[in-house]
Amino acid sequence: MAFVSVIIPTYNRALLIGQTLASVQAQTFSDYEVIVVDDGSTDATAQVVAGFDGNVKYIAKQNGGQASARNVGIQYATGEYVAFLDSDDLWLPDKLARQVACLRDTKRQWVYCDTELFDDATGRSLGRYSRTVCRPQQNFVARELLFGDFIASPTPVVRRSVFECVGWFDESPELRSREDWEMWLRIAALYEVAYVPEVLARYRIHSGGVTFGQDPLTVMHSRMAVVARAVAFAPDIYAGLRRRALANVCVAAGGSLVTRGDLGSARVTFVRAMAFWPLSGRAYMGWFMTLLGRQVTRALVAALLWVRRYGV
C-alpha cells in the first residue's frame, strides 16, 4: 500500500501523457502509486503508459467522462491519500513532498497549492494561477469557493476516507469539466483545507484541453448547475450565497462573450447578473463596457486581464 495514490484520468493523450507520467516519477517523495484510468482512448495512450514500469497501474474502461474515470481511480486506490493529475498537466519534483509535509503538520484532510499556467505551443509561462483568482486567507474556504474555483485541478491531495463522507465525483454530462469544482465545494463544506503557497504544478493551455473553446453560455449553465448542487449538499453554508454566486457566474460568462465580440449576448448576461445581485459592481461595469463598441471593449478587457495576471 502506497501513502499517496496518484489518479490520472486520460482520453486520447498519447502525445502528452508521457510528460505527465515522467513528472510524477521525478517526485522527491517516493511512497506513491500511479493509477492511469484510460477512458476509452482510441490512440496509442495504452502503449505510452506501458513504457512506464514500476508503480504505474493501467486501467482501461469504456468512455464515460473524466468524472467517471476519477471515480474508478478512487475505487482502485490503496493509498491513505489520493492526488489528482490530468494527463496533460505536470508536477514539479517537490509537489508531493511539500504537500504531504503540510498535511502532517496541519493535521488537515486535504491540501492544495499554487500552479503555473503555460502555453503548450511555446512553453511560455502565462503566470501563476493565484494571480487570476481570488484566494481566501482562512482555511475554511467554502463560502469563497462558491464564488469561483481557485483550486486548480492538478493541485489537491485528499485523504481517501473523505470520499466516504462526501461521495464520488458527479458524472452528469452538464457538469463535464466542472465536476472538480463541484467536488471541492462538497469537501470544503465539511473540512478545512491546507494551502502551500508555492507553484508546485504546471497547467497546460492548449487547443485539445477539455475547456478550450467552450461556448460561454454553455459554461454558464454548467456553473449554475454546480452552484445548485452545492446549495443542495450544504444549504446551511451555501443557500444564503446562492444569488451572489449566480451573479458571479453570469459576470464571468459576460466577460467571455465580450472577448468573443458578442456584445449583445454579453449585455443580456450582465443584466441577468444584476437581477441576481443588484449590488454587483462588476455587472454594471461590464454592461457599460458593452456600450463602447467592440474594439474598445475588447482592448479594455485585454488590459484588465493583463493587469490581473501580471500585477503591473
Whether residues 244 and 174 fall in one domain: no
Is 178 a domain residue? yes
Whether residues 196 and 222 fall in one domain: no
Is 212 a domain residue? no
Query: What pLDDT does residue 305 have?
Result: 58
Query: What pLDDT does residue 312 have?
Result: 45
Q: Are 216 and 260 in contact (CB under 8 A)?
A: yes
Name the DSSP class of 60: E
CATH classification at residue 55: 3.90.550.10
Query: What pLDDT does residue 229 have?
Result: 98
Is 72 a domain residue? yes
The overall pTM is greater than 0.75: yes
Pairwise CA distance, residues 98 & 158, whole Å: 14
Pairwise CA distance, residues 294 & 259, whole Å: 9
Last residue of a domain, one of 157, 181, 205: 205
Is 235 a domain residue? yes
Q: Number of folded domains in the chain?
A: 2
Last residue of a domain, one of 149, 175, 205: 205
Whether residues 154 and 228 fall in one domain: no
- Largest Cα–Cα separation, the chain: 60
Q: Are 108 and 141 in contact (CB under 8 A)?
A: no
Q: Which three cell numbers stand for residue 123?
A: 512553453
Whether residues 245 and 106 fall in one domain: no
Whether residues 256 and 181 fall in one domain: no
Whether residues 96 and 201 fall in one domain: yes
DSSP assignment of 78-118 equals -SSEEEE--TT-EE-TTHHHHHHHHHHHH--SEEEEEEEEE
Range of the domain at 149: 4-205
Last residue of a domain, one of 205, 227, 260: 205
Whether residues 158 and 225 fall in one domain: no
Is 263 a domain residue? yes
Whether residues 198 and 281 fall in one domain: no
Q: Are 112 and 151 in contact (CB under 8 A)?
A: yes
Q: Which three cell numbers stand for residue 124?
A: 511560455
Is 229 a domain residue? yes
Whether residues 201 and 269 fall in one domain: no
Whether residues 194 and 221 fall in one domain: no
Cα 40 to Cα 20, 67, 90, 225, distances in angstroms: 18, 13, 22, 26
Query: What pLDDT does residue 208 have?
Result: 62
Q: Tell me the three-class secondary structure of 12-54, residue by residue.
A: CCCCCHHHHHHHHHCCCCCCEEEEEEEECCCCCHHHHHHCCCC
Average pLDDT of each block of 10 consecutive residues along the chain (312 residues)?
Answer: 96 96 97 97 96 91 96 97 97 98 97 95 91 82 95 96 97 92 98 96 81 83 97 98 97 91 93 96 89 72 58 48
